[in-house]
Structure 1
């Protein structure tokens, strides 16, 4: 599917996300707004089921199908992030290029911005013959490890 190249500012707020929807000609339905508001409120990665459950707990009337369709539309247009994790998809509000820290004991994923030294990028390019234009890194570890507890 062709996506037109649009020179736009990064999405850094709920308002930016809503503006991007309108700029792309996407209808900002009540359900779509509910999903975006929730993702910006919680500031974590959630499954479609978790999004559905939380919205319904808040008294927001939204169906399963509507949640899945809206998440697909928003992630396809890079308004929200979709990542594969433990055989499911998780959604977050950060659509800018970034890396993740995966906590193996809490099963949480945290967004981090990491910049590799230029020498590492050149080394990867030399090894692969591919000119690197962007990258993400996945870190894995334990939040509740004995090493972390000693520092508290």
Structure 2
């Protein structure tokens, strides 16, 4: 019994110490914090990859929290680039059938971070042919989308 108690005491102490090292690394690790990332950031976000709280504003935030974080940096860019996917297009009741298939009111539906193996131009992480369901001739209509 005493031997078993010693084992569990050592196990608990080691677990707590390991956890403390991880937490300290997250908050005070500097460049070494990159080792804690779940995946590399996209090219567009490489400059803030160690500032986790720039996007992750709440520990267990909702999709709405993430959307607010995206818009806090990208709202002006979307206005000046004449965003072809503005939120108002997808909140229009005439597009309700499309919203059942695609939660297009949130950036993270198409732009998921920390997934370098599936990230394409513009940080898009959906399959190449995904958009063709609605946009078969988008390359003809928009030269900027020719090779997407």
TM bucket normalised to smaller:
under 0.3
In our comparison, the structure showing a higher alpha carbon Rg is 2
Q: Write 1 or 2 for the structure with the bigger share of helix.
A: 2
TM-score with structure 1 setting the length: 0.25
TM-score with structure 2 setting the length: 0.25
Q: Write 1 or 2 for the structure with the bigger share of strand.
A: 1
